[in-house]
Chain A
C-alpha cells in the first residue's frame, strides 16, 4: 500500500485554511454539533489573519464607497463586542479631516454613514487635540465612531481550543494538494505534511500557480487523505488557487485576487483610540493602538500569490509619509517593524468594478455543486476579519443544507471565553501523522530533565512571557512561530534578538520534542531553529531601520557576532542594500 492511500482522518466536514474564516467556521460547525477537521498548511493565522491591522471596523471606512460592507461591519462590530468581549479593546475611533482634505468627501461620507444607520458624533477639535496630543493641529473636523482594537491571535487560539474541546481536530503544517472525487463529487482531500519549522513549511510551499499541482513533496513528507462529504475552501486570498485544484470551472467561480497591504508597528502608544483620516480610503491613513504599540497602515497593490508578501522600503516610506500627516511627530517614535498581508479581494463580478482597494467588498459564498463543477465543495472568501463570524455562519448554513441537517448556528449567542491553553484531555493534532491523531502532550519524550524550577522564570523579558506556560505549549507540538502569535514571544522591544538564545537553552534543556517528520533537534539544530526565528523577526525590521530600530539592528549584529560567535555577515542584519 503506498502512503498516498492512507486515510488520516474522516469527518462530516473538512475545512481548508486556518485563518479567521476557517477557524470561525470550525467554531460555528462545532457549536452545531458537527464533526469537523481543519487543515492548515502553516500555523494558526499564518496567512492574512495573522498580518492584519487588528481593527474591529465600525465599517465607516467604507461608508463613502461600499455601503454593503459598511453595514456588515457595523452589525458585526456590535455583535462581536458582546460575544467576543475578552478580545476586544473598545477604544473607540475617530475620523479626522485635515485642512487640505476635500470637504465634499466629508458630506458624502456623512450621508453614507447615515444610510447604514450610524450618526457619527462630531468631536470638537480642541477636545480631540487635548485627548490625543500627538495628532496634527491641521485637523479641521472630526467624528467619533465605534471602532475598536481586536486581539486576533488570542481570539483565534481560543476558538481552536474551544472547538477542539468539542471534538474538532486541527492539523497544522498540513497542506491540501488536491481533491478526491468520485461520481457524486468531492469526497475529501489529499494532504501533504510539511516538516520543519513554520518558516520552512511556508518557504517550501509557496502558493502554487492556478491549475498546476502542488510542488513535489520533500523526501520524508507524509502523504495522506482526509475524507468528508463536504469540503470547505476557506483559504482567503489563495481561495482561487485552491478551487483550481478541483478544475477550472471551480476556479472561475472564485474571482479572488491578492491585494498586498503594508503596516508599520511603532513602539509607543501614539494614540489612545483608532484614528482614521477622513478622505477617500488611501494609504497610511489608519492608526490602531494595541497595548503599548501602535500600528499604522496600510497600502494597496495587487500581487501574485506565489510569493510571500514582504514590506519593501518604498511601501514603508509611503505609509510613513502619509501617517506623518496625521501624527507629525512620527519620525521620533521608535519603529519596531513592518509587515505585509494580502487581502482576499473580490473582483466585482459583472459590474466592471476596478481591482485594487476600490473593488467590491462583501464576501463570496459558492456552492460549487450549483456553480457547476464540484458538488460537495464550498468556497467562502473575501470579507474582513471583522465579518468572519457572519461569513462562518453563512457558510455553516450552506454546509448544513448540503449535509441535509437542520441545525441552527449559535455563534451570535454563545460567548467566547479567553483560553490560555487548550483544555486538558482534548484531542489536538500538531501535525498530520499516518494512522494516528498526531502527537499529544503525554507522549512527549521526557528523557531530558526539566529544569527544576520554571515558576516565575520568563521566556521573553520584553513581553513578560511565563516560561512554564511557553514550555507547556511546546510540549503540545507548537513551534516558536506559534509561541509568538500566542504569547507574543519576541514581539517586544528586542524583537527576539536577546531572547532567542535564551529560548535555545530552554528548549534544549526541556527536551523540545521531535516529531515523526523531524528528529528531535540536537544542540546546533536548536540554535539554528532559534536563529531562524530571530531572523524572521529581523526581516520585518529591515524596512524600518531608523531611530531606535537602527540602533537595535547594530546591537544585534554585534551581539550575534561577538557574544554568540555566530557569523552574521551573511545573515539578516546585513544591510538592505545588500539583499
Chain B
C-alpha cells in the first residue's frame, strides 16, 4: 500500500492538507487558525480555474453554518477578496444568460437581479468567451430582465486574449485610466438608464475592487462582474489571494505541483504521505483531493466495465480510490461520477478497505469537498464544500492540538 521508499527528505507538520482546491484552501485556513503548522500538498490548483466564483447552494441556518460563513468571509476579506454582505441568496445570470443563484458572492459580482431590472450587459470584442449579445437575449427571456447590450473594444493592447491575460491589462493603472475615459464616452448614456451594468469578470487579478469602484463613480451606476466561462478569473483570484494570505502567516507552506503517490498507515493512523521525493509527516491529515472530478479518485477501466455490467448492484465494486495512496473505500451511484466519493463516518473519517472485508476507520484523516462525493440531493455546490472543509480543518487541528498537549505534559 505504501509507495516505494525513495524519498530523500521529510517535512513535519501538525496538519497536512492534500489538495489545493476550494476545500483544501478552506481546510488549511481553518486548521491554521489555532496556530498550528500546516502543509498543503497538491498537484494543481484544482477546479478553481474552472470555478465561476459563485458559491451556489444554501447555507444551512445552523450555528455551524453561521460559524463557517463568518470565518470564510473574514478570511477572504483579509486575503483581499471581500464577499458581499447581503444576506440571503442573490439572483444572477450565468455566462449564457440563464438564471443562477449564489449564497456567497465576491463583492464585485454581488448583484441581485430581480425580474424587470434594467440591465446593461457590456462585452469586450477582444474577449473570446463572453457572448454579451446572447447573455442579454437569454437573460431577457429566461430571467425576465430588461436587458440591453453594448460591445466595447479594449484597443490593440488587449490583442485577442483569454480572460486572465485581459485581467492583467486591467491591473495596469495607466491603461485603466484610458479605458475609463472611453467607457465613460461610450457607455454613460446607456448606463444612466440601467440600474446595473454587467461586465465580464476580467477587471483585474489584483485591483478589481478598486477598478470596479472607479467605474461605478464614472458611470454613476452599479457595476458588477458576471460569472464567466473558464478559464475563470474569479477562480484565479481566489487561488492566488488565499494562498498568498495562507503563506503570509508564516505557518502554512504550500507545495503545489506535488502528486501524492504513497503513504504509510500504522495502527489505523496515517503517518505520512509522500510524492516519491518528499515525505510529509503530520499528526492529522485532511484529504481534499476532489473525487473523480479533482483526480483524487481514479476510475479504472475494470471498475467502469464492472459497473456498467452490474446495473443496480454496485456492491463490492472496486474503483481505485486514491490508489496507491490510502486504499480507501468508495461509494457512489452508477456512472454518475460526481456522486462517487470516499465513504466516511459522521465526522468525516474515511474507511480503509481491510483484509477479510472488515473496513477500518482511519482515525487521524478527515475527508473534505468533492472527495467525499456529491450528494444527489444538493448537487455539486460550493456551499457544502465550504462547510465541510471548514469543519474538517478544525477537527484536524483539534486532534493535533490534543496530541501536542498530550506530548507536552
Contacts and interface: CB of A to CB of B under 8 A. Distances in A.
B96 A564 contact: yes
Interface string A482-512: 0000000000000000100110111011000
Given A505-B131, A506-B131, A555-B293, A577 B307 contact: yes
B212 interface: no
Interface in A532-565: 542-543, 545-547, 550-551, 553-555, 557-559, 561-565
Q: For this complex, into which size category does the number of interface residues on chain B fall? A: 35 or more
A522 B137 contact: yes
A576 interface: yes
Interface string A184-227: 00000000000000000000000000000000000000000000
Nearest to B130: A505
Contact of B98 (A451, A554, A564): A564
B229 A563 contact: yes
A524 B138 contact: yes
Contacts of B3: none
Interface string A390-434: 000000000000000000000000000000000000000000000
Contacts of A575: 333-337
A561 B97 contact: no
B353 interface: no
B304 A550 contact: yes
A551 B137 CA distance: 32
B223 to A, nearest CB: 21
A331 B336 contact: no
Question: Interface majority SS on A: helix, strand, loop or mixed?
Answer: helix
Of the listed residues A502, A547, A550, A557, the one surrounded by the most CB atoms of chain B closer than 10 A to its CB is: A550
Contacts of A133: none
Interface stretch (B111-119, B164-172, B294-302): B294-302
A97 interface: no
Contact of B303 (A456, A543, A546, A555): A546
A287 interface: no
Interface stretch (A10-18, A82-90, A298-306, A312-320): A312-320
B56 A562 contact: yes
B335 A551 contact: no
A317 B302 CA distance: 9
A3 interface: no
B286 to A, nearest CB: 21
Contacts of A317: 305, 308-309
Nearest to A500: B96
Interface centre among A522, A526, A559 (most CB of B within 10 A): A559
A116 to B, nearest CB: 38
Contacts of B230: 498, 559, 563
Interface in A20-43: none
Q: Which range holds the interface residue count of chain A?
A: 35 or more
B380 A551 contact: no
Given A554-B293, A562-B381, A505 B133 contact: yes
B52 interface: yes
A558 B135 CA distance: 20
Given A457-B160, A553-B337, A577-B311, A523 B97 contact: yes
Contacts of A547: 298-301
Listed residue (A316, A456, A508, A554) with the most chain B CB atoms within 10 angstroms of its CB: A554
A451 B151 contact: yes
B327 to A, nearest CB: 19
Given A506-B131, A554-B338, A563 B295 contact: no
B151 to A, nearest CB: 7
B134 A505 contact: yes
B94 interface: yes
A551 B336 contact: no
Interface string B81-102: 0000000000001111111100
Contact of B337 (A335, A545, A562): A545
Given A498-B229, A501-B229, A543-B308, A550 B337 contact: yes
Contacts of A506: 131
A524 B142 contact: yes
B323 interface: no
A453 interface: yes
Contacts of B389: none
B312 interface: yes
B335 A557 contact: no
A458 interface: yes
B134 A565 contact: no
A523 B299 contact: no
A561 B50 CA distance: 13
B346 to A, nearest CB: 25
B308 to A, nearest CB: 4
A574 interface: yes
B129 interface: yes
B47 interface: yes
Given A457-B160, A527-B96, A554-B337, A545 B50 contact: no
A504 B334 contact: no
A573 interface: yes
Nearest to B153: A452
A578 interface: yes
A99 interface: no
A201 B18 CA distance: 49
B335 A452 contact: no
A508 B134 contact: yes
A445 interface: no
A547 B138 CA distance: 36
Contacts of A331: 300-302
A316 B230 CA distance: 32
Contact of A509 (B47, B54, B131, B336): B131
Contacts of B133: 448, 505, 508-509
B130 A523 contact: no
B299 A546 contact: yes
A566 interface: yes
B141 interface: yes
Contacts of A551: 292-293, 295, 299, 337
Contact of B334 (A561, A566, A577): A577
A448 B307 CA distance: 49
Nearest to A558: B380
Contacts of B309: 313-314, 317
B65 interface: no
A563 B50 contact: yes
B295 A565 contact: no
Contacts of A502: 128-129, 131, 229
Nearest to B56: A562
A501 B301 CA distance: 30
Which 3 pairs across A and B sit closest by C-beta, in order of nearness?
A: A505-B131, A577-B334, A523-B137
28 contacts: A331-B300, A448-B133, A458-B128, A501-B95, A502-B229, A504-B134, A505-B133, A508-B131, A509-B134, A522-B137, A524-B138, A527-B96, A545-B299, A545-B337, A546-B299, A546-B300, A553-B335, A557-B380, A558-B47, A558-B293, A562-B382, A563-B95, A563-B229, A564-B98, A565-B93, A565-B99, A565-B100, A577-B311
Interface of A: 313-314, 316-317, 320, 330-331, 335, 448, 451-453, 456-458, 498, 501-502, 504-506, 508-509, 522-524, 526-527, 542-543, 545-547, 550-551, 553-555, 557-559, 561-566, 573-578
Given A498-B229, A551-B293, A558-B293, 13 more contacts: A451-B151, A505-B131, A505-B133, A522-B137, A523-B137, A523-B140, A547-B300, A551-B337, A553-B337, A559-B50, A563-B230, A564-B98, A576-B334
